[in-house]
Structure 1
Amino acid sequence: MQYEFSNSINSIPASQWQALWQTDYPFIQHGFLAALEDSNCTGAKSGWQPYHLSLKENGALIGAMPLYVKSHSYGEYVFDWSWADAYHQNGIHYYPKLLNAIPFTPATGPRFAVRDNHAMQQMRAVINEQLVSNRFSGFHSLFPSAEQASLLAKEAAPTDTSSSLQRRLGCQFHWFNHGYSDFDAFLSDFSSRKRKNIKKERAKVYQQDFVITRTTGTQLTTQDWHDFHQLYQRTYQKRSGHNGYLNSDFFQRLGEALPQNTLLVRAYQQSQLVAAALYFYDSQTLYGRYWGATEEFDGLHFECCYYQGIEFAIEQQLQRFDPGAQGEHKIQRGFVPVLTQSFHQLAHPEFNHAISQFLVEEKQHNRQYCADARSYLPFKETLELPSPNILTGATA
């Protein structure tokens, strides 16, 4: 069995990559990762240096993991700034670190592909070797699927916290499809007062003479992608004072690479495009990702980023809608608090042990937060909610 690290996804033939993964999860597709690299949204200058791992046997690809050498912690959505500060205060470099994640995408899904358990063991051994030979401060795997987390969790046992993977919990708010026939059927699960609030919120949008459309990627043009990028950057600038992580070239490449996985919701007022929300989807899940608008309009963000997504998910019979990280305002709109997870291994034994102690307390806090947040859901008591561990598996 041989292994190699690649500084570009393009070094790995797309046909081999796709055959190994065998999933329609959009963010692990060769075309998505290539669009990020070829547009320079990832690369050495961005602090996301590709370092993808591939395992081969007799020339055949039997294992792969998207990896990045990170020189900062931006765009990850699992916050470790305090860990970096602790390193700095002790005169130790926290960067570079080795990251197994999808850039700028806190969406649970597959994070590695292996033919068998032996390949998985080899992959972990290679990563441990890299921590020593390249002096990475640690290895981090963000938002792995429940199935893959179970493999990582086997190495997160607390028997030796000086060198093991440490499991970390987070909380997001997701919508789940209970076999709804339409949006009104979804609202029928709400209590009467909460249902009226949603209807009023949606009516308020259309009273402002908005026309809202949904267009899948196969119907989008180069100009459509350009217009969306303009809205996205305008909103990012207003909120943060700097440009977003993604440039126009990325969106153009995305439109070519994943037309079957993208949805654009657009809002027009007096025939002028004023706002848009970009989604991704696969056979099971809708992912809300990016938003842009010329200005703030009352209720328009909720309509484009949540309610239109729910309607699309119902129409396509998708089982889950992940609208993105954070946002307690989603709870009253029917998005259920669920746990997410990540895994971390710091090369420094004392720091790895110290973080393991911190994560014990943080896990308890996040479990309680998730449970408390569920008490504010707008649903009738008769609705059976999905487990808070639905994304993390039994190990939660």
Structure 2
Amino acid sequence: MSVPRRHTLPAMEAVSAGDWNALIGDDHPFLRHEFLHALEASGSVSPATGWVPHHQTLWQGESLVGVMPLYHKQHSFGEYVFDWAWADAWERAGGRYYPKALTAIPYTPAPGPRLALAAGIDPRTAREALASAWEEGELSSWHLLFAEQAEVAEWQSTRPGLLARHGVQFQWRDRGYGDFDGFLAAMTSKRRKAIRRERRLVADQGLSLHRLEGEAIDAAALEHFYRCYEITYLERGRRGYLGLDFFRRLLATMPESLLLVQARLGDRPVATALYLQGARTLYGRYWGSEVSADCLHFEACYYQGIEHCFERGLTAFDPGTQGEHKLTRGFEPRLLTSLHHIAHPRLRAAVARFCDEEREHVLAYRRAAEASLPFKS
């Protein structure tokens, strides 16, 4: 078979959803054409917001055989693997850090595949072809964020000079618990009682939780969710990255991937959490509340998600970034690796030293987190 031809897409609409989605499997909603297109069509991703699409595709004749999202960035917002210090240090030294190239899902720190290939395409040949997209021209760097560990290892094999940076997230796994009570039974008595108390406290405040899926999420529920989502950002003094039109597009084009958890006081919704789901994994993403209620965030964003996994046979739950509070509620630490191609030798040497020093702290943190899990020995 001939070497695939690389082609850059200036927008997701330049390729059909069917051709793109045929390559990516059934467990990764963020890599779906509908999700990436909704970001662009809603204006959340655009040159005006500092995200310029340069999606990489591979072709055999007229057949699409490889896809990888790629953006040229003029800043580092919305990435969740922070390189602001690198950019600042390099620009103070007289260098130019932006534009850079980024392979990631905008505003979405969820691990998953970043390169998808058709059967029969040699992965190493594909990666060699794709690397030319950022190793030529005036880009300072390329960054691969939140890729799966197997994909990270494959890139390191192809390009040993890529710098690795580590981080930790927390993820729930079904270890054969059977149901929520079985999950609690695997914990120490202290943590089991604490979680039951948190759940009772939510109910004692008059709050009830309701899970809506797909087409059961109507326009009113989605608009209420968006008001709550904006509240979360306004509390930090800014607007959310994503507009209501983005969420409307998701509901219109991929409703089967959406789960909305709604908290109600009587019949009135007062808080919501919006999840996405694949064939095996639940992804917690967006949350907001109009009320201040003890433990409501834990119930809407963690416990409802775990119960949903049991009901739907999902075996993993990624609740989002950050938070030791996830650890004590049964979410296990997971090591993540980002990869970084740095063009200039001096900047590369400085970033390599930073990553080496940071790595020891991250690995120590993960060991401490594993030792603090609330499960019985």
TM-score band (shorter)? over 0.9
Q: Which residue of 56, 61, 74 corresponds with 1:71?
A: 74
Task: Provide the residue aligned with 2:357 in structure 1.
Answer: 361
8 Å CA contact retained: 2:144, 2:340: yes
Q: Which position in structure 1 is the counterpart of 2:97?
A: 94
Distance 1:38 1:49 in 2: 13
Residues 1:255 and 2:258 are matched in the alignment: no
- 1:199 pairs, out of 196, 201, 215, with 196
1:35 to 33, 38, 41: 38
Q: 1:178 to 1:119 in 2, by over 3 A?
A: closer
After TM superposition, give the deviation of residue 121 of structure 1 in Å: 3.0
Counterpart check, 1:173 vs 2:177? no
Distance 1:189 1:117 in 2: 44
Question: Structure 2 stretches of 5 or more lacking a match?
Answer: none
Counterpart in 2 of 1:225? 222
Taking structure 2 as the reference length, the TM-score comes to 0.95
Structure 1 residues 1-396: aligned runs within 5 Å: 1-115=4-118, 118=122, 120-133=124-137, 135-155=138-158, 157=160, 164-238=161-235, 240-381=236-377
> Unaligned stretches of 5+ in structure 1?
158-163, 382-396
Separation in 2, partners of 1:129, 1:335: 37
Deviation at 1:273, TM superposition (A): 0.9
Deviation at 1:122, TM superposition (A): 4.5
Q: Give the counterpart letter for 1:27 in structure 2.
A: F
**C-alpha distance in structure 1 between counterparts of 2:159 and 2:10, whole Å:** 28
Deviation at 1:358, TM superposition (A): 2.0
Pairwise CA RMSD: 1.5
C-alpha distance in structure 2 between counterparts of 1:189 and 1:123, whole Å: 43
What do the CA deviations read for 1:318-364 (whole angstroms, capped 9, x no partner)?
11111000011111111111111111001112211322222122222
| TM-aligned CA deviation for residue 156 of structure 1 | 5.1
The separation in 2 between residues aligned to 1:177 and 1:22, in whole angstroms, is 21
Partner of 1:388: none
Amino acid corresponding to residue 139 of structure 1 in structure 2: W
Deviation string, structure 1 residues 72-103 (Cα, Å, up to 9, x no partner): 11111101111101111111111111000001
- Offset at 1:129? 5.0
Matches of 2:116 and 2:191 in 1, distance apart? 43
Q: TM-score, normalised by structure 1?
A: 0.91
Distance in 1 between residues matched to 2:208 and 2:43, nearest whole Å: 35
Q: Cα distance, 1:20 vs. partner?
A: 2.3
- Aligned with 1:154: secondary structure? helix
CA contact (8 A) 2:127 2:158 kept: no
- Alpha-carbon distance change, 149 to 344 in structure 1, aligned in 2, over 3 angstroms: same
Segment of structure 1 superposing worse, 15-24 or 264-273: 15-24
Deviation at 1:21, TM superposition (A): 2.2
Mapped partners of 2:133, 2:286: distance in 1: 37
Structure 1 residues 335, 119: CA separation in 2 closer, same or farther (over 3 Å shift)?
closer
Matched residue SS, 2:136: helix
Measured after TM superposition, the shift of residue 367 of structure 1 is 1.1
**1:289 and 1:251 mapped to 2: Cα distance?**
12
Kindly indicate whether the alpha-carbon contact (under 8 Å) linking 2:127 and 2:155 is maintained by their aligned counterparts in 1. no
User: Contact (CA 8 Å) 1:63, 1:119: kept in 2 or not?
Assistant: no
Q: Give the conservation status (yes or no) of the 8 Å contact 1:280–1:287.
A: yes
Query: What secondary structure is seen at the aligned counterpart in 2 of 1:225?
Result: helix
| Structure 1 residue 123: Cα displacement | 4.1
Using the alignment, how far apart are the partners of 2:255 and 2:246 within structure 1? 13
For the 8 Å contact 1:156–1:167, the answer to whether it is kept is no
Residues in 2 aligned to 1:120 and 1:257: alpha-carbon distance in whole angstroms: 33
1:229 alignment partner AA: Y
The SS at the match of 1:171 is strand
What one-letter code is carried by the residue in structure 2 that aligns with 1:299? C
Q: Distance in 2 between matches of 1:62 and 1:218?
A: 32
Q: How many percent identity over aligned positions?
A: 42
Aligned residue pairs total 373
Which residue number in structure 2 is paired with residue 384 of structure 1?
none
Give the direction of change, closer, same or farther, for the CA distance of 1:182–1:176 in structure 2 (3 Å limit).
Answer: same
**Equivalents in 2 of 1:296, 1:120: separation in Å?**
52
Q: Quick one: structure 1 residues 123 and 169, their matched pair in 2 at CA, closer, same or farther if it must change by over 3 Å?
A: same
Residue deviations 1:147-175, cap 9 Å, x none? 21221121453xxxxxx211111001111
| Mapped contact 1:217–1:255 kept (Cα < 8 A) | yes
Could you say what secondary structure the match of 1:333 adopts?
coil
**Which amino acid in the other structure matches residue 65 of structure 1?**
M
